[in-house]
Structure 1
Amino acid sequence: MAENADGSEKSEEPTQKKIQESRDKGQVPRSKELTTVLMTLSAAVFFLMYGNVMIEDFMTLGTRGLSFDRDVAFDTHKLFDLIIALVLQAIYLVTPFILVMVIIALISPVLLGGWSFSAKALAPKVSKLNPVSGIKRMFSAKALLELFKALAKFALVMAMATYFLYFAFGEVLALGLEPLMFAMAHAGTLIIQAFIFVSLSLLVVAAIDVPFQLWDHNRQLKMTKQEVKEEHKQQEGNPEVKGRIRQVQREMSQRRMMQKVPEADVIITNPTHFAVALKYDPENMQEPLVIAMGVDFMAAQMRTIAKENNITIVEAPPLARALYYNAEIDRPIPYDLFKAVASVLAYVYQLKESGSAEEVDFAKLPIPEDMKTE
């Protein structure tokens, strides 16, 4: 398991932010073996399809370069023009092959880690000029692994080449008995076959290296639990700060709510634990509105404000609890509590109009069973 510089274990998978930061720095999984095998296979396929044509064109070009008039040999200007023409023709012949190689070289890295361009990766690093650091890199585990891979690749290619020569040895010896033109074509075919055979062997190397590079890249990006926590804090904000913000927001909300209590028509209490302030204006409201509610200390403050503003306080414990747990601030009361609240408001209006009202058993108001709480 990877460890951090302070000895803490990197046991957590990298977050998306960590992965994106590594991409911004140019750190993406790359496999040189994948690029190598794709380029060699592409070259082999290209020569297999167009090799004979290229050989014939180069033979024609060679014949043209070696058969010229005597006056050309003794005229530097004509000789120079001939050489330039031959060079341009040679460039023209190899251009398709070069284009194929360039395209494969650009596409193959994208297959594994995707396209990534980072100016940070191009920036010079002073640490790379340190000879001590360079020696450490030479004898690091990664350098030894790369050496092992190179030796294994060399051994594999050598074994496959030897295997091919063993079976094609008879054909190679027979080349000396064939006519020149036929021998050259036959030799070209053997070279292309050998190239394809050896290139296919590199698939084994790429099949091992690609999963390893993906695993190694993920291992390098792994994080400690503390790093994950720190990143979470950066993204979500410090929990203490967020808690303080929420506390301030609650206090501001409570102050605004307490400022509305004097507007209430009635305060329904538990009598001490819960308090709910209701307001109802028949001309402007279709339903009674909950403008404030509180528990314990806030409930006591609401009762105090109600007494200071001559607001009727009704002790209806079941209704107070039902409203506290089912109603919302600045929203109409729940529909199922209409009858119970209507009885309370009727009692309050009788008190305001005549100074007295018929007694109501507020402990037995019609409250649905699913809204009753202990």
Structure 2
Amino acid sequence: MAEDSGQERTEEPTPKKLQEAKKKGQIARSKELGTTFVLIMSAVSLLIYGPDIGRGLHTVMKRMLSLSRNETYDTTKMFAAWGAVADSLLYPMSMFVLVIVIAAFIGNTMLGGFNFSWQAMAPKASKMSPMKGFKRILGPQAAVELIKALLKFGLVAACAVFLIKMYFYEILHLSIETLPNNIAHALEIIAWMFLALSCTMIVVSAVDVPYQAHNHHKQLKMTLQEVKDEYKNSEGDPQIKARIRRTQREMSQRRQMQDVPDADVVVTNPTHFSVAIKYDTEKAGAPIVLAKGADEMALQIRKIAKGNDVPLVESPVLTRALYHTTEVGEQIPEQLFTAVAQVLAYVYQLKRFEKGRGRRPSKLADKLPIPDEFKY
């Protein structure tokens, strides 16, 4: 959708986008960084284990060049001879290879971290497309790789010429040294030259790592439409959510209207707000708000109350306080106990009077005891 719309990728990738890219194996990687780390650690390993490898090679050459006639024609003795000389090379060569393997793992996970993805391993027809192959060959990424290759060639060639000049006479001197010192010395020269050549790759890696990180981040950028679509998929369509909220509100209003006939009293503003209250001493220790509403809903509450002989009491300040501080089904705040108690007492006395069991109650006080912080 985003590609068809022609929108530019200007938005930062969302956490979901980054997570999906990681599952697909799309993470920042620098081949130059991995290669540089492997080469440098190989050179260091050669410096450490080079002398042992040199001595082992000397042992092998000495043993193989001093085979007797019987050992030459007897295969069993030949294999025994090979087993004897292998011991001298097994440990240093094993450690040398182990260092390289560990360096390869660390070097290739330094940028982007470790990640295993089955999706990246799955075959894709797009990777076998000749047209896309030509695009990759002639694209900007190929140009960058060509520049890196030229840079590597130039740096390595210049460093190699310098090292050959520096070690020239030392290399010539190897021909007059005795065994096994010349082998160990040759390996030492090779290791130092190898290390110096490998260090030239640090310059290439220093350029490639920021470029790969930037290029990966650029590829994961999203269009504004993609961000909107992802929000809809993860959070839900705003229109659908609004419709759900409206339906929930209507259901809540219907439940409130069903509870209004059970109220003991409905306090009103008298026009804008209505709050239905019930006080059941057996179920709750304080009066409960059964329903509340403003404007049209307030009018509906009053109509239902009148139709079910629920007393209506005008108290603008108390009604606004109850409407703004209490939700449906909650007990009224403690600070409003006294004011609501006076209203309920007035209603109870009025009901007794209507049944002929008492005298008419005096008019409800205009100013009920309501704290200033509850006045709206």
TM-score, normalization: structure 2?
0.91
Once the two structures are overlaid, the 10-residue window that deviates more, 54-63 or 114-123, is 114-123
Change in 2 beyond 3 A, CA 1:5/1:30? farther
Instruction: Provide the secondary structure at the position in 2 that maps to 1:331.
Output: coil
Instruction: Provide the secondary structure at the position in 2 that maps to 1:268.
Output: strand
Alignment of 1:18-29 (within 5 A): 18-29=17-28
In the other structure, the counterpart of 1:358 is: 362
Q: Using the alignment, how far apart are the partners of 1:332 and 1:181 within structure 2?
A: 96
Change in 2 beyond 3 A, CA 1:180/1:360? closer
Change in 2 beyond 3 A, CA 1:287/1:127? closer
Alignment of 1:237-256 (within 5 A): 237-256=236-255
What letter corresponds to residue 361 of structure 2 in structure 1?
A
- Cα offset for 1:5? 6.0
CA contact (8 A) 1:336 1:368 kept: yes
What letter corresponds to residue 258 of structure 2 in structure 1?
Q
Alignment of 1:164-243 (within 5 A): 164-179=163-178, 181-243=180-242
Change in 2 beyond 3 A, CA 1:5/1:196? farther
Change in 2 beyond 3 A, CA 1:6/1:349? closer
Task: Give unpaired runs (5+ residues) of structure 2.
Answer: 355-359
CA contact (8 A) 1:276 1:320 kept: yes
Once the two structures are overlaid, the 10-residue window that deviates more, 176-185 or 277-286, is 176-185
What letter corresponds to residue 52 of structure 1 in structure 2?
P
The answer to whether 1:369 aligns with 2:369 is no
Change in 2 beyond 3 A, CA 1:66/1:261? same
Q: Using the alignment, how far apart are the partners of 1:127 and 1:332 within structure 2?
A: 65
Q: Using the alignment, how far apart are the partners of 1:365 and 1:205 within structure 2?
A: 82
In the other structure, the counterpart of 2:79 is: 81
Per-residue Cα deviation, 1:27-47 (whole angstroms, up to 9, x for no partner): 111111111111111111111
CA contact (8 A) 1:65 1:86 kept: no
Correspondent of 1:92 among 90, 96, 103:
90
In the other structure, the counterpart of 1:107 is: 106
In the other structure, the counterpart of 2:263 is: 264
In the other structure, the counterpart of 1:129 is: 128
In the other structure, the counterpart of 1:290 is: 289
What letter corresponds to residue 278 of structure 2 in structure 1?
K
Change in 2 beyond 3 A, CA 1:284/1:100? closer
What letter corresponds to residue 92 of structure 1 in structure 2?
L
Per-residue Cα deviation, 1:275-294 (whole angstroms, up to 9, x for no partner): 01111234554322211111
Change in 2 beyond 3 A, CA 1:194/1:134? same
Change in 2 beyond 3 A, CA 1:166/1:8? same
For the aligned residue pairs, the C-alpha RMSD in angstroms reads 2.2
In the other structure, the counterpart of 1:305 is: 304
Instruction: Provide the secondary structure at the position in 2 that maps to 1:112.
Output: coil
- Cα offset for 1:324? 0.8
CA contact (8 A) 1:261 1:277 kept: yes
In the other structure, the counterpart of 1:42 is: 41
Instruction: Provide the secondary structure at the position in 2 that maps to 1:278.
Output: strand
What letter corresponds to residue 358 of structure 1 in structure 2?
S
In the other structure, the counterpart of 2:277 is: 278
Once the two structures are overlaid, the 10-residue window that deviates more, 103-112 or 176-185, is 176-185
Runs of at least 4 residues off by over 6 Å: none
Change in 2 beyond 3 A, CA 1:89/1:284? closer
- Cα offset for 1:77? 2.6
Percent identity reads 47
What letter corresponds to residue 150 of structure 2 in structure 1?
L
What letter corresponds to residue 79 of structure 2 in structure 1?
D
Once the two structures are overlaid, the 10-residue window that deviates more, 121-130 or 181-190, is 181-190
What letter corresponds to residue 90 of structure 2 in structure 1?
Y
Aligned length: 369
Instruction: Provide the secondary structure at the position in 1 that maps to 2:111.
Output: helix
TM-score, normalization: structure 1?
0.92
CA contact (8 A) 2:30 2:111 kept: yes
